[in-house]
């Protein structure tokens, strides 16, 4: 199909935030540069309508790579005996936040594997300490699947947001990427619980993961429509050499960029990061992501000494740079797109604020 014939679909998606499955599949499967250009142009117009030229930064603190799970794609899966495990101390984590604050970060993301050491008591204490030092900052957790009462305690302690990628909305595909003890139902149950509790929620999927079809991606888009998350984190699948999926093909920047734009048209106000995985698969990937509708970057604030050990996939970028250096590099990259990094919590515009603990 000539891709200009697809432009009316973009009008429809913009006007109704919806398309039929067949229409979505035409957009997902068209690889032409012409469609790519037009869809990112429209995505940019929308992101600028709600966010102007601003780019929000989130300081990512990868605080533990111990993980009880054994996802087939992930380098820190418990089955990877070659992963060197580490866990930051409370003091190291607080120091990352202090450094980040000085650099202008107003959101911190505590991300880690599912590490049993971090009980509700330890995590709530940590959350309280961070919020006490930096009451004007938002705190995001990304620590995987827990039970509802645990999510409630963490929220009451002061956590504002939660990232839990759904990975894929197709049950059979989910089961092909995860061992039997992980269930698609529980993943979705967690996401719904987080929403109900009042977190600003981020979900998302890997693009181009092994076995992913257009039908899977359409289900992902339907899940976004249903859940209406405040954030959507997507990035290409990149094989890790010590995992069962080591020999699989990586995802592409092209598909990831097209999906970023589709998601911007589908959820116009959503917070959308241009991810490190996108910058890994393509050296200009994050800049291209911003030009395709993304409005968030998540630079690494973890101590340089542990960066290499938080290896979810191979060839991850920004491993050698301290927070300050990485931010300088990133600021230049952002300037090249005509956008600018701002010192702001960057809440979702629909977010009404949270009562203090």
Instruction: Look at residue 240 and give the partner it binds from ligand 5AD, ligand FES, none, a contact being a CB closer than 5 to 8 Å depending on partner kind.
Output: ligand 5AD
Closest approach, Cβ 304 to ligand FES, in A, equals 11
Q: How far is the CB of 287 from ligand 5AD (least distance, A)?
A: 19
Strands, E, within the chain: which ranges? Answer: 54-57, 59-64, 107-112, 138-142, 161-163, 200-203, 206-207, 231-232, 235-236, 296-297, 340-342
* Minimum separation from the CB atom of position 290 to ligand FES (A): 13
Q: How far is the CB of 169 from ligand 5AD (least distance, A)?
A: 13
Q: Which does 235 bind (CB under 5 to 8 A by kind): ligand 5AD, ligand FES, none?
A: ligand 5AD
Q: CB–CB of 178/71 below 8 Å? A: yes
- Give which of ligand 5AD, ligand FES, none residue 56 binds (C-beta under 5 to 8 Å, depending on kind): none
Give the number of other CB atoms < 10 A from CB of residue 249: 11
CB of residue 315 to ligand FES, shortest distance in Å: 14
* Minimum gap (Å) between residue 321 Cβ and ligand FES: 4
Minimum distance from residue 313 beta carbon to ligand 5AD (Å): 4
At 270 the three-state DSSP class reads coil
The partner in contact with residue 193, picked from ligand FES, ligand 5AD, none with C-beta cut-offs of 5 to 8 angstroms by kind, is none
In the list ligand 5AD, ligand FES, none, the entry touching 237 (Cβ below 5 to 8 angstroms by class) is: ligand 5AD
Q: What is the largest CA-CA distance in the chain?
A: 58
Residue numbers at the binding site for ligand 5AD (CB under 6 A): 73-74, 165, 167, 206, 235, 237-238, 240, 277, 312-313
The two three-digit tokens of residue 99, written as one number: 């450094």
Mask: binding to ligand FES, 232-271, rule CB under 6 A, as x and -?
A: ----------------------------------------
- CA 85 to CA 75: how far, in whole Å? 11
Residue 289 CA to residue 281 CA, distance in Å, equals 12
Nearer to ligand 5AD, 30 or 167 (CB): 167
Name the residue among 25, 6, 21, 27 with its Cα closest to residue 222: 21
Provide the 3-class DSSP secondary structure of residue 10: helix
Q: With contacts defined by CB under 6 A, how many residues of the chain interact with ligand FES?
A: 6
Burial class (CB in 10 A: 0-12, 13-18, 19+), 22: exposed
What is the CB neighbour count within 10 angstroms for residue 258? 24
Are 56 and 109 within 8 A, CB to CB? no
Place of tokens 């291209």: 288
Binding to ligand FES (CB under 6 A) within 304-333 occurs at 318, 321, 326, 329-330
Query: Beta strand pairing status for 206-207 and 296-297?
Result: unpaired
Q: At what angle do helices 120-133 and 90-103 cross, to 10 degrees?
A: 30
Beta bridge partners, 139, equal 108
Q: Report the partner that residue 312 touches, choosing among ligand FES, ligand 5AD, none (CB closer than 5 to 8 A by kind).
A: ligand 5AD
Residue nearest to ligand FES (CB): 329
Nearer to ligand 5AD, 100 or 250 (CB): 250
For ligand FES, the binding residues (CB under 6 A) are 299, 318, 321, 326, 329-330
């Amino acid at each position: 199909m000539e891709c200009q014939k697809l432009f009316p679909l973009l009008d429809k998606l913009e006007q109704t935030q919806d398309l039929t499955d067949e229409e979505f599949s035409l957009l997902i499967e068209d690889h032409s540069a012409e469609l790519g250009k037009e869809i990112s142009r429209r995505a940019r117009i929308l992101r600028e309508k709600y966010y102007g030229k601003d780019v929000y930064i989130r300081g990512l603190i990868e605080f533990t790579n111990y993980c009880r799970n054994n996802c087939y794609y992930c380098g820190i899966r418990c089955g990877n005996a070659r992963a060197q495990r580490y866990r930051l101390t409370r003091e190291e984590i607080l120091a990352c936040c202090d450094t980040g604050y000085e650099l202008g970060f107003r959101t911190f993301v505590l991300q880690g594997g599912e590490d049993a050491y971090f009980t509700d008591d330890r995590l709530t204490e940590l959350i309280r300490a961070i919020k006490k030092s930096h009451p004007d900052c938002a705190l995001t957790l990304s620590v995987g699947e827990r039970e509802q009462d645990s999510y409630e305690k963490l929220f009451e302690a002061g956590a504002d947001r939660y990232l839990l990628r759904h990975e894929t909305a197709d049950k059979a595909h989910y089961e092909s990427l995860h061992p039997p003890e992980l269930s698609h139902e529980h993943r979705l149950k967690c996401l719904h619980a987080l929403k109900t509790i009042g977190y600003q929620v981020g979900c998302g999927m890997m693009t181009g993961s092994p076995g992913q079809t257009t039908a899977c991606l359409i289900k992902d888009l339907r899940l976004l429509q249903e859940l209406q998350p405040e954030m959507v984190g997507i990035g290409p699948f990149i094989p890790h050499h010590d995992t069962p999926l080591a020999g699989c093909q990586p995802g592409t920047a092209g598909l990831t960029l097209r999906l970023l734009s589709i998601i911007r048209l589908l959820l116009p106000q959503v917070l959308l990061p241009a991810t490190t995985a996108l910058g890994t698969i393509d050296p200009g990937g994050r800049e291209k992501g911003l030009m395709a509708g993304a409005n968030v970057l998540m630079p690494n604030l973890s101590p340089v000494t542990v960066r290499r050990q938080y290896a979810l996939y191979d060839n991850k970028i920004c491993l050698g740079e301290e927070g300050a250096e990485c931010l300088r590099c990133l600021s230049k990259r952002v300037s090249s797109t005509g956008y600018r990094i701002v010192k702001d919590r960057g809440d979702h515009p629909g977010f009404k604020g949270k009562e203090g603990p």
